[in-house]
Amino acid sequence: MKHLTIAVIIATLAAPMAYAGPIESACLKSDRKGVNRAVCNCIQQAADLTLTSSEQRKAAKFFNDPHQTQELRQSSKSNDEKLWLRYKEFGNAAQAFCQI
């Protein structure tokens, strides 16, 4: 029983460290100034609060290709317009929470 308890504690502590969402992963891979694990994790948390997992995967691509952000913003498709509004909410939340 003691071994099971220790295994559960280790798994519980390791799980948050092992998971890196799509936004955090893209952030860590980016060459932006001031990027570090704490900032990228905070940005991921803002994404978790404001974007669906599908939207996060799309937004993660913006880190490598910022032009896609412009295409989304200028798109006349209703789904793109909705995503753009949610993406702006995400950006505002990340700025407020993460002080970036």
Q: For the chain, which residues make up each domain, given as ranges?
A: 2-98
pLDDT in 10s for each residue of the chain, 100 residues: 555 445 444 544 444 555 799 999 999 999 888 889 999 999 999 999 999 999 999 999 999 899 999 999 999 999 999 999 999 999 999 999 998 7
Note the residue count of the chain: 100
- Integer Cα distance of 94 and 18 in angstroms: 21
pLDDT at 33: 87
Residue 93 CB-half CA count within 13 A: 16
Cα Dmax for the chain: 60
Predicted model pTM: 0.77
